[in-house]
Structure 1
Amino acid sequence: MITEFLNNKKTEPKVLVENKISFNGPQSQLSIYDTFEPAQKVQLKSDQPLFCAMISGKKIMHSDDNYHSDFFPHESFVMAPNQIVEIDFPIAQLTQPTRCLAIEISSDRITQIAEQLNYSQQKSKEFGDWQYQPQIVHTRHNAQTQTLLQRMTHIYSENHQDRSFMIDLAVNELTIRLLRQQSRALMMSFCMLQSDFSGMTAAINYIETHLADNIEIAHLCKLACMSRTKFFNEFKQNLGCTPFVFQQQQRLKKAHELISSGRQITQVCFELGFTSCSHFSRVFKQFYGTSPKTFQQYQLG
């Protein structure tokens, strides 16, 4: 766990609010921020895209474009260059600090990776090229991203002979995940607004509006006006997974949203088409790295 690793490297804080420890890498920097007492309206700004991941505690994020949201462990928050965010720390304590990991990646590096993706992959024309959108991205990250962040914490802080090369690989992976997350979010918004724009948008919209149902590939292929092989290939190229995995991911994201709003876990489970609470709890934990019950306790705490 990231928390255990950082606790082993614990040093005396220089300040009690946003105490920062940084590790430099090629075209990037990884920092750990610890806050040991409640605070309000603490400003954060970077001249490069800043990927933040909550490790422990709770923050409340505010931006100048009327964005206000709680920020919990296993969530990612990406700030655009030169964007100012104000942060509240409602539950920070000396013995239980609010901790966040932040990775600053140069805009040039992100552009370079996007260009490489555009050269090597061909998405459907209606969804455009890979490119970084300079806007806030706030999402629950999955277990794979959590594992990557844990690995990056070790790589940045160790004195390995191949450190720079390994950081390059890890930053590439994190950037690709960020670009795909933004691309998927924009794609979903587009599909909800213009579900009849193309066969693929119709199929994606159908899955999104039938999360509790068992989807039939034959029906999706008919909506997309594609053969089974072509549909699977284009779907995976655009969304990074199969239709079945995509529906499962969207079910879990909807479950996260409903539990956040105060709905009971059992009710959410069956409403979204899961057949047992134990199965729902298991796949939720695999996807988010925490159980529905633990996540609900974060919301209530």
Structure 2
Amino acid sequence: MSKALIKQLIEEKVDNSGLYDTGIDGVQLFKITQPIECAPVVYEPSLTAIVHGGKEAILNGDKHTFNTSKYTCCTMSMPVEAGIPDASEESPLLGVYISLNSRLMTDLAIEFESVGGNFSQSSASSAPSGIASARWDADFTDALYRLLLLTDNATDIAMLASTRLRELYYSVLKGEAGSIVRGSFGVGNAIGRAIEYLASHVNENVTIDDMASKIGMSKAVFHRKFKQATTMSPIQFVKSMRLNNAAKRIAEGTNVSVAAMDVGYISSSQFSRDFKRMYGLSPKQWEKENKTKAASMLQ
């Protein structure tokens, strides 16, 4: 099996620029034909396989480039700035976006560990990371192709989609990103659970002491392990999540004050200060300059 066949399959199914539902829950095809500058987004747990073109993401000041050489697994919610700098009609960004079913991945990771499965070491790092890349090996390529073949038949999707998603997830666990995925979804994934809790409660006043106590760690250990996983301190993470969510909503047309309150800010002046410190623009300036940018961003 080859990526060329997957690329051909995608080209047969997508025409114009945008995201295309496949009928399989959480699985979408994408085609982007215009360049998009970096804008704040929140990556959700997902798997992205690019078959043509490339994109970039800036995480805590570090730029990461994603292209056809590796697929990418985002194992937890992450505040980033992302863009597609070189897309065009002649050379579009093409690929597959799969929203990870956290329960299925957790069950598989724990089961794999229980039977003594061996994970390949990530070529990037052995430390936990919210975004991991892995080489397209034969198992992953074959599993992805078999999954996408279901998209033409509703009966096939109903009968086989869950099985083939499981097969694809299993190929990820066996691949180069396997050790990182296990750190987020397998036994002892307390930090992963804490990150998802914080990501889904960014508008609430959750203290770091509370989170550390909840997962049975000292504040110092929790802080260290959290930073290993996200490259940010817990406080930086929460602030970035809040501001990225707010920036995206403002670009989509939400009133600045409403966006600030929705992500947990009580003081509008504090929101404006934090926003300008992160993006170099006031919320009102951001609204004028980025009206469509974040709304069109492929996440």
Q: What TM-score results when the alignment is normalised by the length of structure 2?
A: 0.50
The TM-score normalised by the length of structure 1 is 0.49
* Structure showing greater relative contact order (alpha-carbon pairs closer than 8 Å, 6 or more residues apart): 2
